[in-house]
A and B are shown apart, each in its own frame.
Chain A
Amino acid sequence: MTEAICRELASGVLAEHAAEVDRDARFPKEALAALRSHGLLSAAAPAGQGGLGADVPALARMAARLARGCGSTAMIWAMHQVQLACLLASDAGPELGAAVNRIVRDQLLVASATSEAGVGGALRRSACAVERDDPSPAARPDAGEPASTARLDKHATTVSYGLEADALLVSARRGPDSPPGDQVAVLLDAADASLETLGGWNPLGMRGTCSPALRIRAAFADWRILPVPFGDLVARVMTPLSHVLWSGVWYGLAAEAADRAAAHARGRAGTGSPPSGALAEMRWRLSAVEAQLAEAARAAQAVLTGAAEPTVAFTLLVNSLKLAASQVAVDVALAALRVCGMAGYSEDGPHSVARLVRDLLSAPLMIGNERLVAINAELALVARDR
């Protein structure tokens, strides 16, 4: 049902605006409005809380569906689901719980600011810290609305839809004396934060994600700090779900490229020459990613619900998915480009794969593959069967 809606929206409103969103590097506001009108922004939230209650395998398939219409929209949707899942997994107190409920109910858009100047894509290190004017905890529980007691000032290098979001989930060191790896996540209301764009946004692909560098400054009440340790949140929710849902997007983009290549080859069927062997190669590469994606999505679902623990073998599995999907999707799109020739290289026309190729070239960079290779090489030293 939900997947059918995603398919419909992808070939409708998403596809309709995709070229313009890409050309102007602008936020896909029409697509996001359509997703909202179908409740899709709260897809990952339980039905009892006003969401769609989609599990991880379903979310991955939805991401792939959406990507066929507009890669940027699909990626925005996927990143938002990850933030939502992080919030839902955080054993929240009353104020944070109410804020999360409002995000689900009103389908507010949540951006992520983990990457940081000087730290790059090392998710598990922060430079900025939560700071306090008065280090002594002036706890006055019945003094009414808690004041803004904490502050942060972060130079985030890449914040997708940061200027469009209603809220931001920002990583920082727990305090000024904390080591880089002792982090917390802070849920900031965009209205309470000062966001300053540093530099512009004119990238090769995924242009509609609108992901400039931002200086984020905010004062906030303590309840906005997620109680769950950031490292645990990353291991259980953020990394597995990011890798699975991003891979869903990349799989969808690559599958779309393969379909366009096949359509182009069909158009030449009358010429008597057999279809390019690349058409066959694209299929076996795609089915391998599809299977890997389904397996990782099932494992991620088990960890998300607490039925399984995020072990070394699990982390290897989800990192391996990200490495494989990001590389294979690029290979498939480039193969499609060779099959389509100039019709594929053109930005226009039914057999264009140009935007798909450009969007996919971001895949190995989203958490740099070299970083993940370094991590997985270490993990491989203690890898056991799950």
Chain B
Amino acid sequence: MSAVPARAVHGDERTPVERRLRELLARRSVLPGVIESVDAGADLWELGMESLAMVGVMVAVEDEFGVEFPDELLTRDTFRSLAVITDAVVSLTREEGPA
């Protein structure tokens, strides 16, 4: 998982990505009533996200940001929190150019 850089490195890029991500999940009714305000580091699995919903999130995030997650990032860990998904998106958009 070393492909995902530490949060601190991308302080400025992260904020808009995280906001877009939060809006995207809210539109897709992932954890409705919770996702809008939940802490970025909160464990989405513990909050009740279901495995099948995760696949929907993967598809939506790829489409929204124009990125493609390599298989090694398609894990429960990558989609554990808004912060971790944001890190993954930021690192992928850096590799693939801006969305």
Contact = CB atoms under 8 A, between A and B. Distances in A.
B72 interface: yes
A229 interface: yes
B42 interface: no
Contacts of B70: 384
Interface residues of A, number: 26
A346 B37 CA distance: 65
Residue from the set A174, A179, A232 with the largest chain B CB neighbour count within 10 Å: A179
A342 interface: no
Given A232-B76, A310-B75, A311-B74, A382 B69 contact: yes
Contacts of B62: 382
Which of the four size classes fits the interface of chain B?
20 to 34
B47 A384 contact: no
Interface stretch (B11-19, B48-56, B87-95): B48-56
B49 A181 contact: yes
Interface stretch (A9-17, A82-90, A373-381): A373-381
A374 B47 CA distance: 23
For the complex, would chain A's binding face be called helix, strand, loop or mixed by DSSP majority? loop
A58 interface: no
A182 B45 contact: yes
A235 B76 contact: yes
Contact of A180 (B47, B48, B71): B48
Contacts of A311: 71-75
Interface string B5-46: 000000000000000000000000000000000000000011
Given A174-B46, A375-B52, 11 more contacts: A178-B48, A181-B51, A229-B45, A231-B51, A309-B77, A312-B58, A312-B71, A381-B58, A382-B74, A384-B68, A384-B71
